[in-house]
Amino acid sequence: MVVSNSFKVKNICCIGAGYVGGPTMAVIAENCPEIKVNVIDISKDRITRWNHDDLTKLPVYEPGLNEIISKIRNKNLFFTFDIENSIREADLIFIAVNTPTKNEGFGSGFASDLTWVELCARQIAEFAEGHTIVVEKSTVPVKTARVIQTLLDSKNQRNVIKQNKTFSVLSSPEFLAEGSAINDLKNPDRILIGGDDQLGIDILKNIYKRWIPEDKILVTNLWSSELSKLVANAFLAQRISSINSISALCEVTGAKINEISKSIGSDRRIGDKFLKPGPGFGGSCFQKDILSLVYLCRYYGLNKVADYWEQIISLNNWQRSRVSKLIVEKLFNTVNLKKIVILGFSYKSNTNDTRESAAIYICKDLMANGAKLLIHDPKVNSAQIEKDLCKKESSNVDLDNNGCWTLIKDIQLSANKSDAIVILTEWDIYKKLNWISIASLMRKPSWIFDTRSVVDLEAIKNIDINYWGIGQGIDL
Ligand code: NAD
Ligand code: UGA
């Protein structure tokens, strides 16, 4: 099929209505009102929730997202079960499906599972009509675009009566961070387009150019684009593991990690971003993308390179377990039957996402040691926590056996007779807690374990409570 410069995008389809597909399509649809955008998903529950009248029930919580959804949903942005027609109508299709780490078979524990990407390619090959531009939004291993192109073309080759359908495959990885997704999508540092079909590249570029300055749109070859995404996440995670490793050194030497972050971050060559210590990075992507990079390096025989990047994960695992261990140690080496209030379960603030959250690992460790946990989070619900902790919620932790948990609403009330408060997510509300009244209700000696540096040390100076802060060396 001959595709000319006059090819105009009238319909976009996004396969995958998750943390990337939903917000990304909302911003595209808002900026391109004449384009119809269909977001499809194999999960009926996800689509139903995207269409919910009550916007607090949307499957993704992102500041600014509800406003866009209420403005354009069912005008030019649709969340639909109709996979077949959405693909058929589309001139441009984004693949934004999950690419988790494989947990069985070859490459288990490292390689990305491309089952869902392959399924998308087969669905597109089946239903698409005319010329279709297919864009990888999902994070994928290098050379995936070739697999997609092969799958798309194979349908044509098999047909006796050759169908009049053609495909151009591009890579345009997503760099949004959860919690700031809408702002990241509206004002990205850069947009990346990888490909070798100039016409397809121009068409995609013209969409982004509607709200993004052209000098921020970088064009590379397919493989640089695919690899850049993995490398960007690996570099970001590397900074966190680096600062977390130094937080431990601060604690034993009397140095203060926040002073270190400030002093090294003032050097413009280093920069001040991603230098906040914490309980270990979480989220669905850093670990999986580094593992994918490690797998790729080993596949090409670059074992030293693989070992280098794998260390970032190993340090992150150590940081999480270091936090659990020191909590137990400080509470006289046992947390059995002790009530501990956990503040924050999501992997960072401003998101309801708990994937790979450090809280999961730390809570499991504490429960394994017998603690009774009272978990608070402004956005995460008990069904999610139940799934993550693989344990049913207790209806009354006071009466229940050791190693149990419940979700709480009132932090102050729950602090009653508790031994410790552990801050695991940096939600704003935790910065404004009334420590005087909280401490007065706790069993003595009581502790605050602050893994996110949110507590104002001035505010607890004269209170009868012990404080441990990540990377806060005690002046000896
Ligand atoms: P997600 O799990 O939230 O959403 C993926 C959705 O795709 C799910 O709802 C799933 O049901 C659906 N799906 C899977 N196969 C399908 C198919 N064949 N047809 C229709 N729907 C299908 O995942 P996510 O967090 O949105 O991430 C998606 C991709 O984007 C991943 O590759 C991830 O690495 C990458 N990414 C994620 C983020 C992030 O912040 N979450 C940021 C940048 C890139
Ligand atoms: C990250 C990247 O920042 C995005 O650019 C990328 O698109 C995305 O992964 C992805 O590919 O999924 P995200 O995981 O949403 O985004 O959130 P981040 O802000 O990067 O935080 C990740 C983890 O690192 C969180 O647990 C956070 O608390 C932790 N973190 C972050 C720190 O411990 N210290 C910091 O200084 C920054």
**88 CB burial (10 A radius; 0-12, 13-18, 19+):** middle
Strand order in the sheet with 447-450: 404-407, 372-376, 339-343, 420-423, 447-450, 466-469
Expressed in angstroms and rounded, the spacing between residue 245 Cα and the centre of ligand 2 is 17
Residue 204 CB–ligand 1 contact under 6 Å = no
Nearest CA to ligand 1 atom 32: 138
pLDDT at 473: 86
How much is the pLDDT for 433? 96
Q: Nearest ligand to the C-alpha of residue 361?
A: 2
For ligand 2, atom 24, name the residue with the nearest CA: 281
Residue 23 half-sphere exposure, CB side, CA atoms within 13 Å? Answer: 23
- Taking alpha carbons only, the member of 350, 464, 341 closest to residue 410 is 341
Nearest atom (ligand 1) to Cα of 16 = 7
Quote the crossing angle between the two packed helices 115-127 and 144-158, to the nearest 10°: 30
What are the residue numbers of the active site?
A: 174, 229, 285
Question: Separation of 462 CA from ligand 1 center, angstroms?
Answer: 48
Atom of ligand 2 nearest to the CA of 229: 11
Distance CA 331, CA 348 (A): 26
**Ligand 2 within 6 A of 276 CB?**
yes
**DSSP tag of 187:** S
Dist CA 316 CA 313 (whole Å): 5
- Say how far apart CA 369 and CA 338 lie, in whole Å: 10
Nearest to 282 by CA among 181, 381, 391, 361: 361
How many A from CA of 51 to the centre of ligand 1?
18
Structure tokens at 230: 């993995």
Residue 449 contacts residue 431 (beta carbons within 8 Å)? no
Name the residue with the closest Cα to ligand 2, atom 6: 175
- Distance from Cα 272 to the centre of ligand 2, integer Å: 15
Distance (Å) from CA 101 to ligand 1 centroid: 13
Q: Which 3-state string (H, E, C) describes 283-307? A: CCCHHHHHHHHHHHHHHCCCHHHHH
Q: Give 267's DSSP letter.
A: S
For helices 358-368 and 303-330, give the axis angle rounded to 10 degrees: 50
| pLDDT score recorded for residue 2 | 52
> Measured from the CB, is residue 285 less than 6 Å from ligand 2?
yes
The response to whether residue 469 sits with its C-beta less than 6 Å from ligand 1 reads no
With a 6 A CB cut-off, is 283 part of the ligand 2 pocket? Answer: yes
Expressed in angstroms and rounded, the spacing between residue 23 Cα and the centre of ligand 1 is: 11
Give the pTM: 0.96
Tens digits of pLDDT across the chain (476 residues): 556 667 889 999 999 999 999 999 999 999 999 999 999 999 999 999 999 999 999 999 999 999 999 999 999 999 999 999 999 999 999 999 999 999 999 999 999 999 999 999 999 999 999 999 999 999 999 999 999 999 999 876 555 455 689 999 999 999 999 999 999 999 999 999 999 999 999 999 999 999 999 999 999 999 999 999 999 999 999 999 999 999 999 999 999 999 999 999 999 999 999 999 999 999 999 999 999 999 999 999 999 999 999 999 999 999 999 999 999 999 999 999 999 999 999 999 999 999 999 999 999 999 999 999 999 999 999 999 999 999 999 999 999 999 999 999 999 999 999 999 999 999 999 999 999 999 999 999 999 999 999 999 999 999 999 999 999 987 65
* CB of 357 shorter than 6 A to ligand 2: no
Nearest ligand for residue 14 CA: 1
233 close to ligand 2 (CB < 6 Angstrom): yes
Rounded to whole angstroms, how far apart are CA atoms 86 and 128?
Answer: 9
Res 8: pLDDT: 87
pLDDT confidence of residue 160:
46
The strand pairing partners of 169, in sequence order, are: 134
Q: What ranges make up the beta strands (E) of 229-329?
A: none
Ramachandran quadrant class, 301 (left: phi over 0; alpha: psi -120 to 50; beta: rest): left
Number of other CB atoms surrounding residue 66 within 10 Å: 15
Would the CB of 139 count as within 6 Å of ligand 1?
yes
Closest-CA residue to 378 (of 346, 416, 424, 340): 346
Our answer on whether the CB atom of 59 is closer than 6 Å to any ligand 1 atom is no
Contact 322, 249 (CB under 8 A): no
Instruction: Kindly state if the Cβ of 274 falls inside 6 Å of ligand 2.
Output: yes
The pick from 226, 233, 264, 380 for probing ligand 2's pocket by mutation, whose C-beta has the most ligand atoms within 8 angstroms, reads 233
- DSSP, collapsed to helix, strand or coil, labels residue 257 as helix
Prior bond to 23 cis, omega within 30? no
- CB neighbours of 288 closer than 8 A, spacing ≥ 6? 99, 100, 101, 112, 139
**Residue of the nearest CA to atom 37 in ligand 1?**
20
pLDDT for the residue 327: 98
First-to-last alpha carbon distance for the chain, in angstroms, is 76
Give the 3-state secondary structure percentages of the chain, helix then strand then coil, rounded to 5. 45, 15, 40
CA distance readout (Å), 413 to 400, 408, 418, 430, 437: 18, 9, 10, 15, 10
The span from the CA of 289 to the CA of 286, in Å, is: 5
- Helices 303-330 and 286-299 pack at an angle, to 10 degrees, of 150
Q: How far is residue 101 from each of residues 58, 92, 154, 362, measured CA to CA in Å?
A: 26, 27, 27, 22
**Residue 468 is which amino acid?**
W
Rounded Cα gap, residues 298 and 304, in angstroms: 9
Ligand nearest to the CA of 236: 2
